[in-house]
Structures are given as structure tokens and as C-alpha cells.
Amino acid sequence: MKNFDYIIAGGGCSGLSLAVRLLPYLKASNKRVLVVDKEVKKNNDRTWCFWEEHPDIFEPVVHRKWNHLSFSSTYTDLQLNIHPYSYKMIRGADFYKYASEQLANSSHITILVGDVERLFNDEEQAGLVIDGILYTADYVFSSIPKPQEKRPESYQYLLQHFQGWVIETESPIFDPESAKIMDFNTSQQHGTSFIYVLPLAANRALIEYTVFSEQLLAPETYTAALNQYISEQLIYENYKVVEQENGVIPMSDHPIQGKDGRIIYLGTAGGFTKGSTGYTFRFIQKHTAAIVERLQKYGDPYISATYSRRFNLYDGILLYLLNSGRISGEEIFSTMFKKNNAAQILKFLDNDTSFAEELLLFTTLQKKEFALAFVKRTLKLMKAGLF
Ligand SMILES: Cc1cc2nc3c(=O)[nH]c(=O)nc-3n(C[C@H](O)[C@H](O)[C@H](O)COP(=O)(O)OP(=O)(O)OC[C@H]3O[C@@H](n4cnc5c(N)ncnc54)[C@H](O)[C@@H]3O)c2cc1C
């Protein structure tokens, strides 16, 4: 048996974010942390995009940032002023390298590569087992994926799935100062579908085809959608694909248990993937920062409010509308971006708005459809004793 003060199980986005944030506290309190992952993370396995008002601890690895965004659909074309936010991109490979270097310089961190077989928890301590060896600590922070419990009679489940290409063009066709966060000028036959265009240089961009639906598509469908968008919307043929990313992010209003005694769940496993958008990176940063603040002040990691019933209901309403077919995702997002200040929408999607600000935003949307969805979702949850 080996004992540490804390164990971080899963060294991906949330595990490494927590470990890096903990460094000053570990030094000051002379505590020791074990960080375990089943693999050494080096590959550029994902790209994180997010918005934030102020630079945070991973600013040194921000690959690109944009202060101007645009939105397009068959209804509207908009230039979006997102001040005071910036929209940022971090490449997975840069994040893993930067975090690993920070951790390698600390005598308070032990890194272990191993497959966690099981987590355990009692009144005194928590721990995990790897290759039959027991590791214990005061608290375990785990981002290891948990099997998703499903209650389809009460909650909704969609997938956000995507394929992205970094393309290089022969001539300069992109404006590196402005990123397109949603372009609905792509077929809507598979569900709410849109394209991101994130220019990295005048001749280089990440183009990502994203679909919200229950089922994944055949691999050739993503390829065809990207080819079609580049030739018909960007009206360009001479390009090469230099990188590719694929991903699936769960979208649901099913609440996720954030802790189990001395085990605290982080990241997607802790419910920090926003149900209606799939955005997770900023929620992870806010959560891990709050854990460290709490440890510094009170010596335990128990954050009081990590789950907001109000925002979970909003996510449920949006998922209901996206799924019901009564109104398309394209119509919802077009109206939302056309009638509201973009920064206010980003604040809302960050779960940071006040109730008064939310009411103001809702009055600009398709009132009848949203009111009906609100009543249906609330009744369903009340009937199941969940609201
Ligand atoms: C391709 C892709 C792109 C995304 N893009 C964005 C984006 O642009 N913006 C955004 O906000 N969100 C995005 N997300 C969603 C979310 O931010 C990421 O999934 C993020 O990595 C979640 O962090 P995490 O710590 O919960 O999980 P992960 O980063 O996946 O970390 C979990 C870790 O646990 C390890 N692990 C698993 N099982 C075991 C085991 N048995 N033993 C030991 N270790 C184990 C894994 O190796 C992994 O390193 C994206 C997701 C994907 C898949």
C-alpha cells in the first residue's frame, strides 16, 4: 500500500488542470499528490475552444485567439461583438506538454502510468487499485469515465459528434482575425448541423462539421459534408488536409453525481460537460480553481454549488426543442444571435447570467415554443419526483 495526500485519477484535461492549479498549495502545505493515467498523453488528440474574459493559467499555450466572431445561417449573416470575451483555442498536445513540464518540476507530484482497476472510499480515506497495488489518500479526484446511467423516461440524451480538418490552401482565403463559430449552410438532414471555421493563418484553418443527433453517422458522411462546404461555401478546391480530429461528446440533462464520499469527480465524469452545448473546458477550469480555493481555505475539497438546477432545466429545454423537430436548431440559434448581444449569450452559455438577464434573453426567443418546452419539461420532471 502506498499513501499520498491526494490522488488524481485520470491525467487528461481536468486531472492535469487540477494538478497544475494545486502546485503552489502543495508547496505551501508540503502535501503530496499522485497523478495516474493509463497512458502518457502526448498526441494532439483534441483541440479545445472556449471563451474567457481574463487570461487563465493555460494562457501560455493558447494557440490562437479571436476577438471577432461571425455567425451564418440561411436566415442571417452576423458579425458578433464578444467584448469582453476572447474566443480561444488550445491544442491538446501543447496542453499536455505544458502541464507535464510544470508537474515534472515539482517534488510534490508523483506521476504513474497505470490502468485504474477500481476506486474505493470509506470514512477515513479513499483510494484506488492498479495492478493489484493499493494507493490511498485523503481524497481521490477522478475523471475516469463512468458508465452513463440512463433514465429516458425523464431525461434526454443526444450526441454531439464531429469531424474537423486543418486545411492548408494555396492562396490566402481566410481572415485570421475572425472565427466563424456556427455556419448552418450545410445539410440539416441528420439533425442540427453546422460548421466551424477557425482560421489559424490566411491560408490555414480548422474546419469542423458538427451534428447533434442520437446516432453517429457513417465516416464518409462527415467527409462528404466537409468537402461540400469547402467547395460550395468557401468556393475553393486547391487545399490539402494536414490534420484531422474526430470526437463524440455526450449532451444530456441527466444530472451526474459530483462526489461519492471522499471521491470527487472531475470533468465529464463530474457533470462538467454542458448538456446543451458540449462545452466543458471552461467549466473544468472554474471547478478545479474552486477546489484549490476551498482546500486552501478549509482543508477539504467540498464545493457547495457545482450543480445548477436552473441551468440544467434550460439545457433540458434546448435539448427538448432540438429533439422535438417543432423548431430547428438553425432557427433557434439564428434568432438568439440576431436578437441578443453576443457577449450576453456567451455569459448565458457559461451559466453566469442572473435570472433577470435570462428572462430578458428568453423574451427574444420563439416564446410559444420555449414556453411549451418549459411546461413539458417541468411537468415531466415533477411527475417523476425530480423537480
Ligand atoms: C475531440 C474532442 C474535442 C473537444 N473539444 C472541446 C472544445 O473545443 N471545447 C470544450 O469545452 N470541450 C471540448 N471537448 C469536451 C471536453 O472538453 C473534453 O472531452 C475534455 O478532455 C474532458 O476532460 P476530462 O478530464 O473530463 O476527460 P479526459 O480529458 O478524456 O481525461 C480523462 C483521462 O482519464 C484517463 N483514463 C481513462 N480510463 C482510465 C483508467 N482506467 N485508468 C487510468 N486512466 C484512465 C484517460 O486516458 C484520460 O487521460 C472535446 C472533446 C473531444 C473528445
Task: For residue range 47-70, list pLDDT tens digits in order.
Answer: 999 999 999 999 999 999 999 999
Within 270-366, where are the H helices?
281-298, 309-324, 329-339, 342-349, 355-362
pLDDT of residue 205: 98
CB 193 near ligand 1, within 6 Å? no
pTM as predicted: 0.96
Within 215-280, where are the H helices?
219-232
CB 15 near ligand 1, within 6 Å? yes
Q: What is the pLDDT of residues 196-217, one digit of tens each?
A: 999 999 999 999 999 999 999 9
Burial class (CB in 10 A: 0-12, 13-18, 19+), 195: buried
The CA 301 to ligand 1 mean position distance, Å, reads: 21
* Coil, strand or helix at 371: helix
* Coil, strand or helix at 109: strand
Predicted confidence (pLDDT) at residue 309 exceeds the cutoff of 80: yes
Q: Give the residue from 156, 198, 188 showing the smallest Cα distance to 330.
A: 188
The CA 249 to ligand 1 mean position distance, Å, reads: 9
* Coil, strand or helix at 270: helix
The CA 367 to ligand 1 mean position distance, Å, reads: 36
- Mean pLDDT, the chain, whole residue set: 95
Q: What ligand 1 atom has the least distance to the C-alpha of 41?
A: 49
Give the dihedral of Cα atoms 279, 340, 343, 317; nearest 10 deg.
-20
| Best mutation site among 115, 245, 280 for ligand 1 pocket (most ligand atoms within 8 Å of CB) | 280
The CA 57 to ligand 1 mean position distance, Å, reads: 18
Predicted confidence (pLDDT) at residue 188 exceeds the cutoff of 70: yes
pLDDT of residue 308: 85
Query: Percent of the chain scored above 90 by pLDDT?
Result: 93
Predicted confidence (pLDDT) at residue 385 exceeds the cutoff of 90: no
pLDDT of residue 380: 86
Query: Percent of the chain scored above 70 by pLDDT?
Result: 99
Name the fold adopted by 157-252. D-Amino Acid Oxidase; Chain A, domain 2 (3.30.9)
CB 53 near ligand 1, within 6 Å? no
Predicted confidence (pLDDT) at residue 325 exceeds the cutoff of 80: yes
Predicted confidence (pLDDT) at residue 305 exceeds the cutoff of 90: no
The CA 13 to ligand 1 mean position distance, Å, reads: 6
pLDDT of residue 186: 97
Predicted confidence (pLDDT) at residue 286 exceeds the cutoff of 80: yes
104's enclosing H/E stretch is helix 92-104
pLDDT of residue 319: 96
pLDDT of residue 32: 98
- Name the strands in the sheet holding 47-52, side by side, starting at the edge strand that comes first in the sequence: 47-52, 86-91, 62-66
Q: What is the pLDDT of residues 213-239, one digit of tens each?
A: 999 999 999 999 999 999 999 999 999
Ligand 1, atom 18, lies closest to the CA of: 280
Predicted confidence (pLDDT) at residue 304 exceeds the cutoff of 90: no
Q: What is the pLDDT of residues 128-163, one digit of tens each?
A: 999 999 999 999 999 999 988 899 999 999 999 999
Ligand 1, atom 7, lies closest to the CA of: 48
Sign of the Cα torsion 196, 200, 202, 204 reads negative
pLDDT of residue 240: 97
CATH of domain 2-66+82-149+253-298: 3.50.50.60
CB 143 near ligand 1, within 6 Å? yes
* Residue 347 CB neighbour total at 10 angstroms: 20
pLDDT of residue 306: 66
